[in-house]
Amino acid sequence: MKRALVVFALLSLAACKDKGKESAAKASQDVVVLAEQADKDVGEVSRGLPEGAKKLAALWAGGADPRGDAQGVRKQLIEVRRQVPDLNVAKSTFFALADDKGVAIRNDLDEDVMAGMNLGQLFPDLMKAQNDYVEFQGAFPGPPGKNGPDKDWIAATPVKNDGKTVGIYLTGWTYRLFARHLQEVLKSKMSESLRASGDTGKMPIFYVGVFDKSGVYTAPLTPQVNEKALADENLVDKTTASGAAQGTINITDRDFGYAAKRVAKLGPDVGVVVLRSEL
């Protein structure tokens, strides 16, 4: 009887390891899909932002100074986003206008904590947008949210009037909200695949995060223990600009597989990771 129990335990352990490897293999396919999606999302911004900046130049027409009309700037920011197809579908969490010195005039949100903030000092790379379109990463000041610390991907471009830079148009998204967007994309693709196969009862447990040298930033509602387990994998060290990484992790007695891939368009050493476990 004792021998039978030992054999059963060994078989169960092997089955768990195989499940983890299966999940890792599937996650490696998932992460390629999400990396392509991230490229597409960045492309919408890189095409749309310069086009939007041309429309915002009207705020300076006839010598006008939009710094004295914050609500008018917000209205125009909302209107320009609607007018530019790429920006209308962009995954940005904010659009904002700053003056040529990098001081924020207004963003498009109901509550604006950005107005008057010297974004040029906060994000030195922003000042490169006095001359051309730029992308960079950083973090706005303030206490961490309920999901933990976060970072931002930001893009900016000059607003010119009569050939002179008069302002800076910028947009961006937080890593965690972008991870949630990618997680929803993956959920939709998984659901489509299950419906196509006639099997709607085997959706795996899965989570998506964005990583860089500072850590892993998972979508809201991801258990902290899962995020920590991924952070402990040192994903930047395990991936390269052209190569992905995959592996298995046991989290709270459940076997998971993960796959991570850098996404150059999100920035140097920035990438996407998928953590999943088959049911």
- Same fold? 21-39+177-277, 43-174: yes
The tens digit of pLDDT for each residue in 213-246 reads: 999 999 999 999 999 999 999 999 999 988 899 9
User: Average pLDDT of the chain?
Assistant: 92
CATH fold of 21-39+177-277: Beta-Lactamase (3.30.450)
How far is 34 from 221, CA to CA, in rounded Å?
A: 19
How far is 37 from 181, CA to CA, in rounded Å?
A: 10
pLDDT value at residue 19 = 86
How far is 275 from 31, CA to CA, in rounded Å?
A: 9
Residue ranges of domains in the chain: 21-39+177-277, 43-174
SS3 letters across 8-57: HHHHHHHHHHHHHHHHHHHHHHHHHHHHHHHHHHHHHHHHHHHHHHHHHH
* CATH class given for the domain over 43-174: alpha beta
Its pTM stands at 0.91
The tens digit of pLDDT for each residue in 178-210 reads: 999 999 999 999 999 888 877 766 889 999 999
How far is 252 from 249, CA to CA, in rounded Å?
A: 10
